[in-house]
Structure 1
């Protein structure tokens, strides 16, 4: 057969052929063997990240240097000094290196290892301790160890190292990108996926589609969770972009401090400026596991997190930095949706910003517009910069360098000027529902992206963030319109997901470039309803193309419809054709006609509750709610001259119509609910 030595030798060679990356860690170890620069290399990282394989490669490096490796798996050692000493006993004379795997199992011996075992070894001995947990504070605090200790966090493989591994395993190149996306360079995940390929099974599109892999990974990554609260905190940490004590308090209550401290002790949880977060593959595994075994629990967690972030964004409306981060938190919750994930870039998001125009920015915006979209479009932008400079935002990288821009302008009959694009959008609004008093019409008239070939681009991500902030925290709007360079195959899926319908008659052409327009009427589907709709879509509800807008009644048309509804209140066949049944007033009700009757009765009841209007209520009651056979008979029953009766009737109708109009404009409590 040609193989010499033992089966163990063959196994070691097979492992070495499949070992990739970790060059820095191995060179660090070799350096210690050659120059004695330090005595202890402390490596820590989550389960499945490749610590054991790395120790095996270090053992081979020791052999090549003429040093005998003593490999110890702490899972097989009782955490007692005598048992450990037996396990690390050198096999003979000569120099040796001690390599301890799963060192976290020896936590009771940690002080003894640091204070007695290592100091008692020969001066040229190198010790490698590998485990899930970082070294305790006492290792770091001891001044003597500053020179003799090196600490390395073992991370996932890089994309290039991952591709090397997949090539060694014979995985077709056509599968490399999908496996990169699933595994994030996590060695154990890669090994399990490779095993699927070698068994000729289909590689899943998401980890949740492979519960066997998820179970195997969970067993390696997550130790026994102390209790239900800890389990829920872990799920929050996996689903949210960053986890803070404030978030845990809002979600779980008074145990937040204890649970936050526990999360910080986990080997796969990292800390950054904005809070805690798990390694990518751990996040995916925990999320996939909950979604697979408890779909209702997963959906409930998603909705509660989303609601928490929406409320925080609204509370922070005046703090741009907090608002920006919170809307990013909301966007992050949809990171795995098959449509949405293709339209935004997470990497480096914290380094990007959208700012108003600074000195010199107007020229920069116009230059970018001119270069990418032509002179005529730049001339339109110049008009808007003069009229509404605050509508423009510049997208910047971490150095402040611009890479894109957008403008969210307010449209009105007097403010359009000579802009044919704004005119086309405004005419769409006039045709399908002009703004009513106090309502605004907002339009993303300009969007300039200097990186259109690298989708999803940073500018696309930033305009989504900005638009999300405007929707959640902005003032009451009638319409939102979005103008984008014509590319419907690209834009339709995203904008349909967010319930913006394509408005073909609003499309326009400027400077040889065609622009498509998408629109949303907030009076048809308000912000809170929109948030609920998009939350369900994030959880897998079907995405249907947004329907074209319904006609929105003007105030005189609305008042006429109220008079008709009062007249036909007890004639179901006639009431069915009343325009109010297609208004915001009753939209979404299971029984629109029944809901309209209830609202009319509620409006009439407000007259009864006001002593000054009580006589109007009695007239409305006998004319519409419990009508007499004729109005003359109603006047007689009320003891009123007919001329007085008619005057009271007209005033009652006016009051009822006014109350319903307030509901139509502002929602349930007669005040704004969408801003």
Structure 2
């Protein structure tokens, strides 16, 4: 028995249809079945644009095969090693494994044939750990199936051994016959089905949204543009059906990652929360999850973009109220869902990219291997001097596990960083930078139980610590440490050779210079980021609150504290360079477009990748140029690189 087309929302009906049977996709299904055979590859990437049906394909295919499957939804997984291990334990019905090898052993002991990680791009920071630690430890009988919007990054193709153990399945438009089957399952027949098939051009989400709109407005013109053009128009029709009060509720929650009762109460100021919740539950584009309500993948960006264009002041107010609601809950104790809610609200790309990488941004950072030693030391020598290279050698001898690398197209080391969690007397004692950190910790001790981290180097092979895709990737990788240690992390220290070059990045992250440090015959600057009361989560929340202030206003301490609690100190957003400040003024979607533009995409390619109309892509590019004060793609790319949007 198939699900009734009149029951539930679009998202729920799609999920229900997948549970009963996969509609069409015979060629892709056959290919995926081959790849999952015992003699198949160790890792399979299933990728394609949003709404194309990747999860439906994988779910339906696996349901028809006699395979034991363990599935992780990366949208609900904290992008840290402990978070991934906890999620694996929950999927196995057991406590969190102690390590990747222990997890691999338990997966094998459970008789699993396939480990599925859906929305894999959400585990951007863990790409190297999944490849080098988890997947490498699994027995040959287990296939890792990675489902997401992009294919494998360069590290999968250059890492020893993986090139021959890797396969890809690109999911594209459905055939006309398959679209007919899909429309029949959603109750669209006759002339309506013919019209939908003509404009959908094989995109299942376009077909489903059109069927929903025609069910509400029989005879509605569908137009003849690309599917994304028509979907935007049809979605606007669905929204226009809502009474003003209900539409205001939906617009208010468009700023949220998920809807919970406390967050809903914060953004629908003055409305009855229970009534607002019932309104959202009834809508055809919301779905219920284990942690709250969510708008569908089409609804959220369309609603938010329209609201930001029409009423940016309201959007800033909504984000600020939502951030305060999350901050109010922090004394109860940090949890990943609250952290993710704050990361969704923050607009600073150097912070946000750790959790929600824009577009197809890859994260080819991974733990250094023994054979990387010579290249790492050579980069340190070339960019920061002989004495710095000698100290990098000593750090390698004592703390090799703290080295991360970014690789180039041929597998070479394109950049490296050292991120060390330190006790006051840990690390190479002869390093002047470390001695300066220890001295500062003794002069200005942290609260009991607090921890400090040292970012000792973040150097690209071509330009040292100057802004580059390699350095941006390494700085984003630092956020993995932030997330892992957030319950106890209080400070981050770093040393830079040229503060004027590093300040645009470090200032916007909250770093302040402390003192000069001499390393050999060179002078460096020691800088510190103090997360303050409440730790990392409160720090993220303060960024959200600061960003919602008008660009020219000064953030006054005491203006943004939740009721009944000490005021939160707001970082000074006006200290960054003009380029970075302008990038922070872009909307989340505009930054996503800018990141893809920086990769060389045309407006047509942008539209296809993001499943938006080319008209909308053109508007975004025009807005980006205006806000950045640039005149061409080359200048916009420079601004994207400086802001950490490329990597």
Greater length-normalized contact order (CA 8 Å, ≥ 6 residues apart): 2
Q: Which has the larger radius of gyration?
A: 1
TM over 0.5: no
Q: Please give the range of the TM-score, normalised by the shorter of the 2 chains.
A: 0.3 to 0.5
TM-score, normalised relative to structure 2: 0.40
TM-score, normalised relative to structure 1: 0.39
